[in-house]
C-alpha cells in the first residue's frame, strides 16, 4: 500500500515519463474513481488540451499540475500509474487512461478500485476536500516538535491512532506508524496525552527518519507495490515489526506480536515497546 515514501518514489519516476505531455482525451472505465467533478464528461472536458507541467506530493496525494486545473490523486492500497504506447490492450484493472498527443498514454490501474481523483481549477484544490483538512507534511518546516507535542497533549486517543490521523500529520500509514513506534520504543496503545515531551520527541524524530530511510530505499514492497517504472522498493528488508509476526525482534529476540489497535493490524515488540 503506497504511503508517503512510495508516493514520493512514484512521483519522481512518473515525472520522467509525463512532464510536458499534452492530454488529447481521457477514457474512464470505472467512474467511481472520479470524485470531483460529479460529471465524468465534464472531467474529460476540463482535461482536454491540458499539458502536465509538474507533479507534486502532499502527504499520500499526487498533484498533477496542468495548465488550468490540478488533478489530485490518491492511490489508497493498490493504485498504480504506468505509461504505455497507445493501443495496447486494456488490462482488467485499468480504470482511467489519459491519452497524450504523442502516441503514449498514462494509465491508472487499481485492483481494489479504492483510489480517488479530484479535479479542481488551479488554486481551488486547497480549499476543498480532500486536501483542505490535511495536516502538515512530515518534511515541512511547519511540522515542528512543538506543533506535534501540542497535538498529542490535546487528545485522549492512543498514539497509533493519532499518527494515522492525516489531519495531525499527512503521510504515515499502517506500515510506517508501526515502524516509527518501534524505533521510538513506544507501545502503540499508549495514550497520546500521557506521553512525556521526551517520548514525543522520540516519536517525532523516528517518524521523520523512518520516512527518509524508506524514500532512500525506494519505498516498501509488501506484495504488489512497484513504482511507475515497475521497480520494487527495498525498505521491506529494514522493517523491524511490520509483517514480522512471530519472527524474533531484531533488537531483543522476543517474537513480534500482532494485535488490533483501532481496528488496524498492529505489530509490536512487547519487550522493546513498553507501556510504562
- Cell numbers found for residue 232: 520494487
Residue 107 β-bridge partners = 82, 97
> Does residue 233 contact residue 225 with C-beta atoms inside 8 Å?
yes
Distinct helix (H) and strand (E) counts, the chain: 6, 11
Active site residues: 2-3, 60, 264
Cα 261 from chain centroid?
20
Cα atoms in the 13 Å half-sphere on the side-chain side of 224:
13
Applying the rule CB under 7 A, the residues between 47 and 86 that interact with DNA are 59-60, 74, 76-77
Q: How far is the CB of 148 from DNA (least distance, A)?
A: 15
- Pick the closer one to DNA by CB: 105 or 178: 178
Mask for 107-136, x = binds DNA (CB under 7 A): ----xxxx--------------xx--x---
Task: Answer whether 57's CB lies under 8 Å from 139's CB.
Answer: no
CB of 125 to DNA, least distance (A): 13
Q: Is 95 annotated as a binding residue?
A: no
Complex with DNA: residue 77 or 270, whichever CB lies closer: 77
CA distance 21 to 54: 10
Q: Does 233 sit near DNA (CB under 7 A)?
A: no
Within the chain, residue ranges assigned H as helices are: 4-18, 40-47, 145-153, 159-164, 174-183, 197-216
**Site membership for DNA, residue 189 (CB under 7 A):** no
Residue 201 engages DNA in binding (rule: CB under 7 A)? no
Smallest gap from residue 129 Cβ to DNA (A): 6
Least distance from DNA to the Cβ atom of residue 23, Å: 24
Neighbour count for residue 151 (Cβ, 10 Å): 18
Kindly determine how many residues on this chain lie close enough to bind DNA according to the rule CB under 7 A: 31
Helix (H, G, I), strand (E, B) or coil at 272: coil
Is residue 198 annotated as involved in ligand binding? no
Alpha-carbon gap, residue 172 to 115, rounded angstroms: 17
- Applying CB under 7 A, the span of 18-26, 40-48, 203-211, 262-270 interacting with DNA comes to 262-270
Rule CB under 7 A: say whether 36 interacts with DNA. no
Is-cis flag, bond preceding 130, omega within 30? yes
Q: How far is the CB of 141 from DNA (least distance, A)?
A: 22
Residues belonging to the binding site for DNA are 93, 112
Judged by the rule CB under 7 A, the positions of this chain that interact with DNA are 1, 3, 32, 59-60, 74, 76-77, 92-93, 111-114, 129-130, 133, 154-157, 161, 164, 166, 173-175, 262-265
Amino acid at each position: 500500500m503506497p504511503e508517503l515514501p512510495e508516493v514520493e518514489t512514484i512521483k519522481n519516476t512518473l515525472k520522467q515519463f509525463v512532464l510536458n505531455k499534452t492530454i488529447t482525451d481521457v477514457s474512464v472505465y470505472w467512474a467511481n474513481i472520479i470524485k470531483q467533478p460529479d460529471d465524468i464528461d465534464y472531467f474529460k472536458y476540463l482535461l482536454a488540451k491540458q499539458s502536465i507541467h509538474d507533479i507534486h506530493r502532499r502527504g499520500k496525494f499526487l498533484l498533477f499540475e496542468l495548465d488550468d486545473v490540478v488533478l489530485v490523486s490518491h492511490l489508497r492500497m493498490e493504485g498504480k500509474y504506468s505509461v504505455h504506447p497507445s493501443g495496447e490492450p486494456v488490462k482488467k484493472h485499468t480504470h482511467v487512461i489519459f491519452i497524450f498527443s504523442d502516441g503514449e498514454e498514462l494509465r491508472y490501474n487499481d485492483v481494489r478500485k479504492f483510489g480517488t481523483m479530484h479535479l479542481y481549477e488551479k488554486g481551488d484544490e486547497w480549499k476543498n476536500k480532500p486536501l483542505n483538512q490535511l495536516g502538515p507534511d512530515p518534511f515541512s518546516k511547519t511540522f515542528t516538535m512543538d506543533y506535534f507535542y501540542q497535538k498529542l497533549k490535546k487528545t485522549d486517543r492512543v498514539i497509533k491512532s493519532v499518527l494515522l490521523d492525516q489531519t495531525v500529520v499527512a503521510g504515515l500509514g499502517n506500515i510506517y506508524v508501526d515502524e516509527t513506534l518501534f524505533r521510538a520504543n513506544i507501545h502503540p496503545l499508549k495514550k497520546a496525552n500521557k506521553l512525556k515531551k521526551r517520548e514525543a520527541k522520540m516519536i517525532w524524530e523516528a517518524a521523520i527518519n523512518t520516512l527518509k530511510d524508506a524514500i532512500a530505499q525506494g519505498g516498501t514492497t509488501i506484495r504488489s507495490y512497484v513504482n511507475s517504472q515497475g521497480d520494487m522498493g527495498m525498505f521491506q528488508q529494514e522493517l523491524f515489526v511490520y509483517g514480522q509476526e512471530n519472527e524474533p525482534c531484531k533488537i531483543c529476540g522476543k517474537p513480534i506480536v500482532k494485535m488490533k489497535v483501532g481496528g488496524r493490524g498492529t505489530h509490536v515488540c512487547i519487550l522493546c515497546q513498553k507501556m510504562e
